[in-house]
Structure 1
Amino acid sequence: MKRMIAALVAVVILASVGTGVLVWWLSSNDDAPKYPEISAYSHGTLVRVGPYRYCEVLNPTKCEVFEDQGELPVIESDAVQLSVPPAIARAPWVLLRQHEGGDVVEEFRPGTRLAVTIPTVDPRRGKLTGFAVLLPTLVRIDDEEVPAPHAEWSVRTVWS
């Protein structure tokens, strides 16, 4: 009887230690990115892009600049499918589309869009050369509040 109780106690101790080690290992090996990533898909290619620049919302001068820029191969007949994670979509966000003949700015209200279809050719502005997702914040300049991005994700298109 004493052996059985000792064996049971040993099993409980080993299980507890094993659970503790597993929890520690899982929490220390977190491969999730620190900052949100956007995804863009076109013509069979998917790219995930981390931020080009990411600043604190309440202190927009304190930034981490990664200069990450995705590259996405595109063709005229296939649009780009852009996806933003909920961490971006729950805030107001801006899509800046850059074309050969000018830029297009689209603003999205919080919680309204997780995905956007971007044509690769605009009839008036020409081919899409790139696009950026921006998270704006208000900054005070000379007693006037103006919107400025505190985070930016950037993708350059590569035409084939």
Structure 2
Amino acid sequence: MKRVAIILACVTLAATLITGALVWQLSRTPVPKHPEISAYTREQLVRVGPYRYCDVFVITECDVPKTVGTLVVSWRNPIQLSVPPSIARAPWVLLRAYEGDGEPAVSEFRPNSTLAVTIPTVDPRRGRLTGFAVQLPTLVRDAQNNEFPWPHAEWSVKTVWP
């Protein structure tokens, strides 16, 4: 009986130490304040926090860390963009900028429709991709009572060509 009690005490002590170590390890890497997007290409992964993140109800109250991710790209490898469920459950917009002075290419996604998008690095008409952004639009009204979408949050990634 004494041997069983000692073994039980050792198992309890080991479980407590392992749990404590796990809690310590998890508390060392803080949870990001805002959602992050991920982009992958050519064995590179970048996780990006928002460039700007505003309160949905008070659009003028913003946190502007100006975070911009960077990916080295080539014409052979597309970019795999992933957005977390916290972004994907709302309508969101993907803007792609290309060489030249043209308007960005815009793709709109319905709520809960997708968590990932493949982005070609070269467009046959627009040229090479120079960067892209993910935006969360909110409907706002101006002083004349006109209603229009305005991004309350934006994540940005620039591309670098070798």
Normalising by structure 2, we get a TM-score of: 0.82
Larger Rg: 1
* 2:43 is equivalent to residue 44 of structure 1: yes
Per the TM alignment, residue 27 of structure 1 is displaced from its structure 2 partner at its CA by: 8.8
Normalising by structure 1, we get a TM-score of: 0.83
Unaligned stretches of 5+ in structure 2? 1-8
Superposed CA deviations along residues 31-81 of structure 1, whole A, max 9, x for unmatched, are: 211111000011111100000000000011000000000000100111010
Paired position in structure 1 for 2:155 = 153
Paired position in structure 2 for 1:96 = 95
CA distance in 2, matches of 1:50, 1:116: 18
CA distance in 2, matches of 1:94, 1:133: 6
The residue correspondences of 1:1-160 to structure 2 (distance < 5 A) are 31-101=30-100, 102=102, 103-141=104-142, 142-160=144-162
Count, aligned residues: 147
Per the TM alignment, residue 30 of structure 1 is displaced from its structure 2 partner at its CA by: 6.0
**Percent identity, aligned pairs only?**
62
Which runs of 4 or more aligned residues in structure 1 lie more than 4 Å from their structure 2 counterparts after TM superposition?
A: 24-30
